[in-house]
Structure 1
Amino acid sequence: MKQILNIGPEETSPRIQNLIDGLYKALPAVESERALLITKSYKETEALPMVLRRAKALEYILENMTLVIRDSELIVGNLTTAPRSTQIFPEFSNKWLLDEFDSLAQRKGDVFTITDEVKNQLKECFTYWNGRTVNELATELMYDDTKTAMNHNVFTVGNYYFNGVGHISVDYERVLKNGFSGIIKDAENALANLDKGCPDSIEKTHFLNAVIITSKAAIRYSERFAALAEKMAAEERDMKRAQELRVIAANCRKVPANPAENFYEALQSFWFVQAIIQIESNGHSISPMRFDQYMYSYYKADIESLNLSKERAQELLDCLWVKFNDVNKVRDTGSTKGFGGYPMFQNLIVGGQDRAGMDATNELSIACLEATQHTKLPQPSISIRVWNGSPHELLIKAAETSRLGLGMPAYYNDEVIIPALVNRGLTLGDARDYGIIGCVEPQVGGKTEGWHDAAFFNLAKVLELVVYNGCLDGVRITPQTGEFTSFTSFGQILEAYQKQMQYCVRFLTNADNSVDMAHGQRAPLPFVSSMVDDCIGKGKSIQCGGAHYNFTGPQGVGVANVGDSLMCIKELVFDKKKYTLAQIKQAMEDNFGGTSMEAVDAEILKEVVRRLTEGGKSLSPDQIARLAELTSQGITAKKASGDYSSMLEDMENVPKFGNDIEEADDLARLSALVYCREVEKYRNVRGGQFQPGLYPVSANVPMGEQTGAMPDGRKAGEPLADGVSPVSGRDTNGPTAAANSVAHLDHMIVSNGTLFNQKFHPSALSGREGLEKLSALVRGFFDQKGMHVQYNVVGRETLVDAQNHPDQYKNLVVRVAGYSAHFIYLDKSLQDDIINRTEQIF
């Protein structure tokens, strides 16, 4: 067995603590510099093809943006002037921000400060973008039926609908080995070899020139940092810091223009790539992926040659870890409920197999886990690949990290993900080289445009459409599939669910393809594309099909809710005949004895939808109620027509998903498979395939707010189940039973990823025995072909106290969904969801 374990102290050095303190000394701010620069550039390039306009805009930004080298940092490259702040990207969308200027500093989660000067600057530049944004074009491309389904919360495509394309991992190794000078040569050679007689040579020429422009701009950006570091060194009185600044300057003169020759240069080159990607586009989930693989040769050579001590290498790595947390973005208020806690989803994964199928774990794998232990920050979102050949020491180190209560690492199963990717057309070598993007989405880095997190699809809404025969809120959404109360067999229920799924997934794919097409036309990304195969060879950006592998990955939410609902219908109506479908439907309409919203006239509701969804906003029940009050039409609370306590008790006693009960698990599996099999039928506009995922980020909370009562006794507005996890509180047979139920789902078909959350009290992981138990639980779950699992190790009492006394818990990091975040920055609805998750013990 490899001797890779290098357990160091879980301590934060003074330098690292100073860097962390600098990040969190003030609330993040909204800055206007990028918005002003890109607007000025666009006004001057209106006659050029779009890909060249994008290249020149990035060039102009990198040459004119304010550069900052923060106190004590050893890795440089800023996106904003103030730490942890955000630039604005008006080319994607901006009307929502205009509407929320005055509430950014007052909202419950993800607070940003914004000055009156910045507001006025942004208001002025936004006028240029009217009718020019990606969001507006995407909306125009969608079918009316699609927009109706989206406005009634069957699904949302908010990620790329309002923001730039993210969820990408480029070929970092290509830059480390060849520098951007090498990429420029590749583009120049491709230009020289173009057959100019081919009709597509014109577009290819524009794209390749755009690659050259952005690559040269990246080099000049680093040279600007070199000049700044030299200037600061000359003025620095502290000799040690002056020397550090001179080394920074030398690094920036060298990389990323040229190949890196040592570990420090490689780290700096990597960070320039990571930063510029997020200056070009504000799509999140820019994921380093297999960092321990492409960085290891530099680490190993420096350690073996004694050019670098392990302690110094760890300090540099820790500095980079802090730098990841300087990246931020502002989202609309609704999205902060689905992406709460300032998440950026920069997923970095260690361990697993190499392309030949051998174990790839090395010393840097362990050092990466130690960097997370030292910094105790939510970024990078560190993950671990596990297979039958993973060293036990790696799992123990991962469990040790989990025990800190950060919600990291997330654990991924090679034995499921590799064959799932091969099934989607990847070569075996590429599949073995997968990493994780964003939350839980597998792909091979540097070759893929996965369009992950393409939509949140509400499986529970599909079941609502079955109950209400294709209508929601009195509005026809889908064709009729039969009156719910007239069904005479459980098979008819399942048939209606499948038909409603077909209609809804068709709308979903139209929405995703419309957004995809809009990005290709209005916001190609030549810088990112320069580092993704086969874009230079094809002469196309990733938005136009340049990547080697092309997918679109929407994710279903509410698997357990639908499974539990089907189980209740089957047992209570058809097996035991204790209730009729009419009684179940009436109970849902009465919200099981709570209050429900009185239906309003369809024409009034259409007007509500129109006024609230200008610019593509989604509709919530609270918004409906508020606008109805303003228009004096009135939406009133409807009292229940009966006592449903006995029915709720009966529903509670029906077997539920999450307890290793085959019949209940079978129905949850079926509810997911109906969705997955429908999604994979479709193709995207880049020539690739749709692939399903089953994870919510944290959108299960706002999606629950938009979902009515369900046949399992869930009341309207309550959160949906978290990913493929059981409904909170219903997994009562222990952690192994819950894991067995989740493993019962077909994870092989869900190649866009699944998410399984478990929560343990810290006492469950105490001592070496606790680490061994967690390691065994992971192994057991993965042996049954579970895909992914992650753990919150924090007591309910701690979370409740943190909610009530946030000032005392500023450093509390928890697992929200496919990411970790500081607990006190989350919206209360997300905090409550985490608090209410089942607390397991061994």
Structure 2
Amino acid sequence: MVIREGHLLLESGRDLRTSRIKKLRSQVLIDREVDVSRAILVTEAYKETEGEHPYIRRAKALYKILANMPIHILDGELIVGNQAFKPRAGPIFPEWQVEKTLKEIHTWSTRPGDKFLISDDEINELKEVLEYWRGKTVMDRVLSVLPDECRRAMKYGVFSVYNYMTSGHGHFIPNFEKALKVGLNGIRNEIIKKLESLDTSDPEYYSKTVFYKSLLITIDAIVNFAKRYANLARELALRESDPRRRRELETIAEICERVPAYPARNFWEALQSVWFILLTAQIEQNGLSVAIGRFDQYMYPYFRNDVQNGVLDEDAVIDLLASFYIKTSTINKIYDNEGAVINAGPALGQVITLGGVTRDGKDAVNELTYLCLKADAEVGLMQPDFAIRLHPKTSEEFLVFLAKYIAKYPAKVKIFNDSVVIPALMNVGVSLEDARDYALLGCSEAVIPGKTCSGGNFGQINLAKVLELTLNNGRVMWYYDGSSFHLNPEGPEVQVGIPVGNVEGFRSYDELWNAFKSQLAYIVKLLATTANIIDRVQAELTPHLIFSLVTDGCIERGLDFTDGGAVYNFTAPIAIGAITVADSLAAIKYMVFDNNFISMSELLKVLRNDYEGYDGLRLRLIHEPPKFGNDNPYVDEIAAEVVKAFVEELRKYRNPRGGCYVGSVYSLTGNVSFGWRTGPTPDGRRGGEPLNDNVSPTAGRDLRGPTAVVRSVSHIDAQLLPQGYILNIKFSPTALNDEAKVRRFVSFIRTLLDHGIFHTQFNVISADTLREAQKYPERYRSLLVRVAGYCAYFVELSREVQEHIIARTEHESI
């Protein structure tokens, strides 16, 4: 491609861009469908490679998929590459599990949320293909060795690790800076040198040889995939009658012929190269959150050079960014029915990180930071998500810009506090320079781009169920079978936890607290046991070869991403229901031990009857004991101790990749599904109702305004949680509807930073609007809300999740 200074690479302008975005949005905001092509191709590949090494089988399977899957270029798009045969269609990944798919596939088009359309013919075709995988999947291998006590705990909703049994790791940010600088051919040369330098007497010679050879096949697969788009763009250009669009298609062809094989030379090439890497990583495996990293840092040199040389103007940059953003909204993931409840939306986690500090500690905000958000304002789709890093020296100018953006587009932004996140990462062995370079993925996980296998969201633990087990001496009181609730399932002797003593005989709160910690220790051990088994099976059956190409350490060590190749290796389960537990423990301490208002025997009787016939006592439990979110140390310190106990137990364990366990506290929508599986709690919550979300107060229990909420959350030591927690705050639109209120909001953001809050996000929408959307979903198809650490289209969420979002406290002022 010949680029002349002063000659615009892309013709653009506000009207042209608006027309392009409108056209592309209409092609993307369509009903979601199932794409069976990947399942067919990967099955054919595995049948053809029986007996070969798993690494080689994975590489050849990827090559076959990328060489044969249907591809398209949408009318008007500037960034190309599709995951499935239509935008937002979802491929099938049978390597991880097929039993649930075979059982549930006929329900996908009618289930309460995350619907995917599929015809009867496609169902029959898919069933035939999936039969090959019975007994061969990751889930099959895990369940063949999983201890009974782990199975039992998952059955009764004490914890879940199904997400890693049914999908790949995800939770990954490539080293884009390197990939753009040297291209995949540069990485190919690095691999060849490593292969040629292997010592044949090295005990790891064989494993490293097949690993490196599989990476070379993987590079060929990606480069050839890009060339398929180059050829298609040329074919479309020959048939195109509009001269402007013909030039665009010819440029796309030239770009796809070059990247990602060779170094990117300009902003458009760099953007396309980034997309091909992100896309193919999400075709190789189906784990959540293949994230985009510090976009305004690694893309800035290309942006600056193009603008300075007159190759791109601001209109063209926004046009390209808009097309890139729209591509991220074409990605989808089909969960089984349980996963669709925990990750409703779905939670895709394609996060762009902006701002923060540089590796040498200076403010990182630049012109591209602003343009990234301006472009998103024009697109307004669910993906990508934006993580904004803030620090004490963030300029007032940027904070005002951010506050105005949140007031208008609140669902798309989450803010992170460098003053907390950087020390939290250093506490688990990350160097200062690397910690300053952190980026976000998933809901709240801070990782080092291109260096980390994060193990993010590697299982969820239901802390409220742990409390239920504690109060019942290790036995289950409540069971949800998928359609109805049961008290005392299969009789009162279903022992899931360990005996910790009869709480009716406890004489102090300390006895109860120690019993809870003992129960928690046992459950965390079961979770770690399960996670480590899954970790090893993933490494054996489903190596992540694209991840390994663009993660530092993997090529150097000759180890796959799933096998300890990354520089930093973590496993990060999430705790759900921490505030429900804190409010419940505070209620017991206040009502039973400190004031003797009721006995423990009376409380247990009430709970075992799900408050039926005890409305008066339930109201007392709701209103009299202190509740988290009201700046009351009585309960706030209990919340801090609950989180600390969880983290301390995790720290006792190591993962098979040589790394440590770290904690995080957020819920996705697991607070709804775990709520179904959890009996009544002493805070007045009835059995089956949602648990609190993230570290936010229980809906309706925070009565003293948003600053009091912040002060409560500040008791939780965020530096214990390198993969974060989430504070959701919901404002009425009237709270931010003029300049003076926006200025107050800037001060509130400073308050969040000063109080050491790790991660905060906002919904600025009225309950009335959400109720209207429930009644007339066709009018609100693109209405976005923040769910947990991600945003989703409100009308595509299940009714239960919608109701939970509506119930969050709506603050009228700051």
Q: TM-score, normalised by structure 1?
A: 0.92
SS at match of 1:159: helix
Q: Which residue of 2 aligns with 1:832?
A: 803
What amino acid is the match of 1:758?
A: I
Rounded Cα–Cα distance in structure 1 between residues aligned with 2:755 and 2:441: 24
Query: Per-residue displacement from partner, 1:631-669 (whole Å, max 9, x unpaired)?
Result: xxxxxxxxxxx4341452254221111000111101111
Query: Per-residue displacement from partner, 1:40-85 (whole Å, max 9, x unpaired)?
Result: 1111111211011101110111111111011110000111111110
| Structure 2: gaps of 5 or more residues | 1-12, 477-488
Q: Which residue of 2 aligns with 1:494?
A: 513
Q: Which residue of 2 aligns with 1:309?
A: 313
Instruction: Give identity over the alignment, percent.
Output: 38
SS at match of 1:259: coil
Rounded Cα–Cα distance in structure 2 between residues aligned with 1:362 and 1:803: 40
Query: Per-residue displacement from partner, 1:144-194 (whole Å, max 9, x unpaired)?
Result: 111111111100012111112201111111111111100100100110111
SS at match of 1:213: helix
Rounded Cα–Cα distance in structure 1 between residues aligned with 2:580 and 2:17: 42
Rounded Cα–Cα distance in structure 1 between residues aligned with 2:644 and 2:66: 47
Are 2:703 and 1:698 aligned? no
Structure 1 residues 762, 11: CA separation in 2 closer, same or farther (over 3 Å shift)?
Answer: farther
Q: Which residue of 2 aligns with 1:20?
A: 25
Are 2:52 and 1:33 aligned? no
Is contact 1:336-1:827 (8 Å) kept?
no
Residue 653 (structure 2) aligned to one of 671, 682, 685: 682
Q: Which residue of 1 aligns with 2:601?
A: 582
Query: Per-residue displacement from partner, 1:668-708 (whole Å, max 9, x unpaired)?
Result: 11111111111111100111000011001111111111110
Map 1:398-797 to 2 at 5 A: 398-472=402-476, 473=489, 474=492, 475-593=494-612, 642-797=613-768
What amino acid is the match of 2:32?
A: P
Structure 1 residues 213, 528: CA separation in 2 closer, same or farther (over 3 Å shift)?
Answer: same
Is contact 1:697-1:817 (8 Å) kept?
yes
Query: Per-residue displacement from partner, 1:5-24 (whole Å, max 9, x unpaired)?
Result: xxx99997110111001111
Query: Per-residue displacement from partner, 1:600-631 (whole Å, max 9, x unpaired)?
Result: xxxxxxxxxxxxxxxxxxxxxxxxxxxxxxxx
Is contact 2:286-2:333 (8 Å) kept?
yes
Rounded Cα–Cα distance in structure 1 between residues aligned with 2:111 and 2:508: 48
Is contact 1:180-1:216 (8 Å) kept?
no
Deviation >3 Å, runs of 4+? 8-12
Rounded Cα–Cα distance in structure 1 between residues aligned with 2:189 and 2:14: 45
Rounded Cα–Cα distance in structure 1 between residues aligned with 2:266 and 2:667: 40
After superposing the two structures, state which structure 1 stretch, 804-813 or 791-800, moved more: 804-813
Is contact 2:106-2:123 (8 Å) kept?
no
What amino acid is the match of 2:523?
A: C
Is contact 1:286-1:437 (8 Å) kept?
yes
After superposing the two structures, state which structure 1 stretch, 444-453 or 329-338, moved more: 329-338
Q: Which residue of 1 aligns with 2:395?
A: 391
Q: Which residue of 2 aligns with 1:164?
A: 168
Is contact 2:345-2:796 (8 Å) kept?
yes
Q: Which residue of 2 aligns with 1:261?
A: 265
Rounded Cα–Cα distance in structure 2 between residues aligned with 1:568 and 1:108: 35
What amino acid is the match of 1:47?
A: G
Q: Which residue of 2 aligns with 1:346?
A: 350
Rounded Cα–Cα distance in structure 1 between residues aligned with 2:44 and 2:229: 23
SS at match of 1:385: strand
SS at match of 1:791: strand
Structure 1 residues 10, 693: CA separation in 2 closer, same or farther (over 3 Å shift)?
Answer: farther
Map 1:247-396 to 2 at 5 A: 247-396=251-400
Q: Which residue of 2 aligns with 1:823?
A: 794
Is contact 1:405-1:814 (8 Å) kept?
no
SS at match of 2:719: coil
Indicate the RMSD between aligned Cα atoms, in angstroms.
Answer: 1.4
Rounded Cα–Cα distance in structure 1 between residues aligned with 2:77 and 2:395: 34
- What is the CA distance between 1:743 and its match in structure 2? 1.2
Q: Which residue of 2 aligns with 1:100?
A: 104
Rounded Cα–Cα distance in structure 1 between residues aligned with 2:635 and 2:663: 22
Is contact 2:621-2:682 (8 Å) kept?
no
SS at match of 1:283: coil
Is contact 1:545-1:686 (8 Å) kept?
yes
- What is the CA distance between 1:490 and its match in structure 2? 0.7
What amino acid is the match of 1:198?
A: D
Is contact 1:98-1:123 (8 Å) kept?
yes
SS at match of 1:365: helix
Is contact 2:109-2:118 (8 Å) kept?
yes
Q: TM-score, normalised by structure 2?
A: 0.95
- What is the CA distance between 1:226 and its match in structure 2? 0.6
- What is the CA distance between 1:357 and its match in structure 2? 0.7
Q: Which residue of 2 aligns with 1:638?
A: none
- What is the CA distance between 1:116 and its match in structure 2? 2.2
Q: Which residue of 1 aligns with 2:247?
A: 243
Is contact 1:11-1:373 (8 Å) kept?
no
Rounded Cα–Cα distance in structure 2 between residues aligned with 1:799 and 1:11: 33
Q: Which residue of 2 aligns with 1:138?
A: 142
Q: Which residue of 1 aligns with 2:9?
A: none
After superposing the two structures, state which structure 1 stretch, 649-658 or 412-421, moved more: 649-658
Rounded Cα–Cα distance in structure 1 between residues aligned with 2:754 and 2:266: 39
Is contact 1:11-1:374 (8 Å) kept?
no
Rounded Cα–Cα distance in structure 2 between residues aligned with 1:762 and 1:644: 35
Residue 204 (structure 2) aligned to one of 193, 200, 207: 200
Q: Which residue of 1 aligns with 2:159?
A: 155
Q: Which residue of 2 aligns with 1:596?
A: none
Are 2:30 and 1:59 aligned? no
Rounded Cα–Cα distance in structure 1 between residues aligned with 2:342 and 2:470: 26
What amino acid is the match of 2:546?
A: F
Rounded Cα–Cα distance in structure 2 between residues aligned with 1:399 and 1:572: 42
- What is the CA distance between 1:120 and its match in structure 2? 1.9
Query: Per-residue displacement from partner, 1:239-278 (whole Å, max 9, x unpaired)?
Result: 2111111000010111111000000111111111111001
- What is the CA distance between 1:775 and its match in structure 2? 2.0
What amino acid is the match of 2:498?
A: P
Rounded Cα–Cα distance in structure 2 between residues aligned with 1:578 and 1:444: 51
- What is the CA distance between 1:94 and its match in structure 2? 1.6
Number of residue pairs the alignment of both structures matches: 786
Is contact 1:376-1:406 (8 Å) kept?
no
SS at match of 1:350: strand
Structure 1 residues 715, 257: CA separation in 2 closer, same or farther (over 3 Å shift)?
Answer: same
Rounded Cα–Cα distance in structure 1 between residues aligned with 2:314 and 2:331: 27
Structure 1 residues 10, 782: CA separation in 2 closer, same or farther (over 3 Å shift)?
Answer: farther
Rounded Cα–Cα distance in structure 2 between residues aligned with 1:324 and 1:643: 51
SS at match of 1:400: helix
Structure 1 residues 585, 336: CA separation in 2 closer, same or farther (over 3 Å shift)?
Answer: same
Q: Which residue of 2 aligns with 1:613?
A: none
Rounded Cα–Cα distance in structure 2 between residues aligned with 1:831 and 1:298: 42
SS at match of 2:203: coil
After superposing the two structures, state which structure 1 stretch, 359-368 or 395-404, moved more: 395-404
Q: Which residue of 1 aligns with 2:78?
A: 74
